[in-house]
Chain A
Amino acid sequence: MQTVLSIAADSLAYGMVLFIISIGLSVTMGLMKVVNLAHGAFAMIGGYIASYATQQLGLPFGVGIVAAVVGTVLIGIPLERFLYRRIYGAPELTQVLMTIGITFIIIGIANFALGPTLKTIPLPSQLQGPVDLGFRSIAAHKLFAVAVGLVVAAALWFIVERTPFGVRLRASVDDAAMAGALGVRTKMVYAVSFALAIGLAALGGVVGAQLLPIEPYYALHYMVTFLVVVSVGGAGSITGALIAALLLGAVQTTGRYIMPEYGEFFFYLAVIAVVAVFPHGLMGRSK
């Protein structure tokens, strides 16, 4: 029983971290139709900035998170303007190649500038240690990850479904030319969505740093994981990404607890099963 509960707790925390990072990718892939394999690289940049802010500058954890999100967005905006804008609407293969290229460059630079070592982000005292839930105690930073995930899901739903920006975004997605003719500045909408997406990646990178440690190959290690979560959930669907992240997080965590020698075998088996049955993902819209 104890094992079951710890598997459940770890799955939930891990799944939520996957969700926070992947939902940004789901926005770029579902709404902007860009397969951005460099998404993990932005999460990594966020982690590096937070680590630098807290470790070297001695800033508090909260400030570190804000710095990570703002810093990553500032780095991402010129990339969107000069590189990503060229591949909107291009075939998947072109987008994959360009974004793998960007990932490689970021890994190379990160290693050159910051070295190959693992970077830590010290947790504030409130998030250290376990929290007693009555029946069981759970590490506070895991509960924090779950809370952040829920807030992100709710906020994103509100932005897309209930704000004027969300209306413009959905209009641009459905028919960019028509939306443009009606006065929506689609380029601006895309730029803002892109910033939102990589901001979420950075947030997830910091919040999840305890589970997905920050090092130069981070961008490559988890590139596939994030892509898989989005395509299993269905690109562009918030609920889909949440379900997929929790499901795949549970499969991976359970596998690690019970049959570590199988590695990620069952994870990818689950992926094949879901994608073969639902080619557009669990909650995806068919074209």
Chain B
Amino acid sequence: MSRPIRDLIAVLVLAVVAVVLFFLFPTNLALLTRIVAVMLLVLSLDLVTGFAGVATLGHAALFGAGAYAAGIAAAKFGITDPLLMLAIGAVAGSVAGALSSLVILRGHGLSQLVLSIAVVQLAHEAANKLSAWTGGSDGLSGIAPSALLGMFRFDLFGRTAFIMAVVMLLLVFVILRVVVRSPFGMLCRGIKQDPTRVRAMGAPVYSTLVKMYAIAGAVAGLGGALSAIATKVVGLDSLSFNLSAEALVMLVLGGTGKLFGAMLGALVFVWFEDRISAINPFHWLTVVGVLLVAVVLFAPNGLTGAAEAIWKRLRRARS
């Protein structure tokens, strides 16, 4: 099958899944919209960690930048057009990504992890301190997005928000498919495998990674802006170490270096989190812990990796 046809099938599959979920869970659309927002965050993390090999535990900084930028634009400057808010979120995320990469890329391995943690904690404390703008620990409220395209109002059931989220996710997915296959995407994978060799070949390592961070920041910022529009509040938790660590868990659960893996991981994680923590949040922690240990020991390539392995074995058995 040629690539465009495979891509078309992938988009159709995603769209069908979204439509099925829309009709199966009409009362859970808010949760589903949240899942899409988190998917964007995890996709963004996949770009820098899965494709470019940057280890980060501070990726929520970009998500939070998008959420706060869109939220502040709406609540303080009266920019309530949802598409404009999304654009503002994407730009803010992209700027935050490029800026934070300047710090994070100073380190390697452990120091890189620590720098990324410090970046997200610093952003968290700054947002807490600037409570005149961000609402501090009470959260930023007063976000009232106007109707989408002037026609579709954001209803109580979250239908408009969900449809907008899915359309946006599909667009981002197609664009990212192009990006990761482009020569630029290949260069990033090369850097992940062996930065020294890429440098020896004469290709720039540092500026390529900064660019990738800017692209990833735009994706994460879109996710943040989406969550601001859908929930109409922005809390400090959107800028936390916890969300960063959870995003990494979702990515590894789904499978790194694959766009489908990032989305599957987010879907499974947030869905089960919602179900189990409704019973007892501490049970959820235990379950995630066991899951993490199990993934590291038995399925290092995540759910999609395990599925691929089973698929290959079946094909071999048949032939």
- Residues of A bordering B, CB below 8 Å: 29, 35, 83, 86-87, 92-94, 96-98, 100-109, 111-112, 116, 216, 220, 224, 227-228, 231-232, 235, 261-265, 268-269, 271-272, 275-276, 279-281
Contact = CB atoms under 8 A, between A and B. Distances in A.
Contacts of A94: 296, 300
A228 B110 CA distance: 10
B114 A276 contact: no
B295 A216 contact: no
A94 B286 CA distance: 19
Given A227-B117, A275-B118, A112 B293 contact: no
B129 interface: yes
Interface stretch (B13-21, B65-73, B120-128): B120-128
Contacts of A92: 55, 109-110, 113
Interface string B214-250: 0000000000000000000000000001100100110
B288 interface: yes
Interface stretch (B89-97, B100-108, B158-166): B100-108
B244 to A, nearest CB: 11
A94 B109 CA distance: 12
Specify the main secondary structure of chain B where it touches its partner. helix
A271 B114 contact: yes
A262 B119 CA distance: 15
A224 B241 contact: yes
Given A107-B282, A261-B129, A264-B125, A97 B111 contact: no
Given A263-B125, A268-B118, A279-B108, A35 B113 contact: yes
Contact of B291 (A101, A112, A276): A101
A101 B114 contact: no
B115 interface: yes
Contact of A228 (B49, B106, B117, B293): B117
A112 B249 CA distance: 23
Contact of B121 (A97, A264, A281): A264
A235 B110 contact: yes
A101 B294 CA distance: 9
B117 A111 contact: no
A276 B115 contact: yes
B122 A216 contact: no
5 closest cross-chain pairs (CB), A and B: A101-B292, A108-B286, A104-B289, A105-B289, A265-B125
B125 A262 contact: yes
A206 to B, nearest CB: 24
B267 interface: no
Contact of A102 (B117, B126, B289): B289
Contact of A272 (B108, B110, B115, B248): B115
Nearest to A29: B110
Interface string B278-308: 0000110111111111011100100000000
A116 B285 CA distance: 13
B62 interface: no
B286 A93 contact: no
Given A94-B300, A105-B286, A105-B293, 5 more contacts: A100-B249, A105-B289, A112-B283, A269-B122, A271-B114
B242 to A, nearest CB: 8
A103 B111 contact: no
**Could you say which of A101, A220, A227, A269 has the most chain B C-beta atoms within 10 Å of its C-beta?**
A101
B263 interface: no
Nearest to B126: A265
Contacts of A220: 242
A275 B115 CA distance: 7
Contacts of A93: 49, 55, 248, 252
A224 B129 contact: no
Nearest to B129: A262
B252 A97 contact: yes
B176 interface: no
A92 B286 CA distance: 22
A97 B241 CA distance: 14
Contact of B103 (A108, A111, A272): A272
Interface string B71-84: 00000000000000
B122 A97 contact: no
A104 B109 CA distance: 23
A83 B293 contact: yes
B41 interface: no
Given A104-B289, A104-B292, A35 B110 contact: yes
B262 interface: no
B57 interface: yes
Nearest to A224: B117
24 contacts: A83-B297, A86-B296, A92-B113, A94-B296, A97-B249, A97-B295, A98-B293, A101-B292, A103-B289, A105-B286, A106-B289, A109-B286, A227-B114, A228-B117, A232-B114, A235-B110, A264-B121, A269-B122, A271-B114, A272-B103, A275-B106, A275-B111, A276-B107, A279-B108
B121 A268 contact: yes
A100 B57 CA distance: 12
A104 B129 contact: no
A104 B285 contact: yes
Contact of B118 (A35, A116, A262, A272): A272
B51 to A, nearest CB: 14
Nearest to A92: B109
Given A101-B296, A263-B128, A216 B282 contact: yes
A190 B287 CA distance: 29
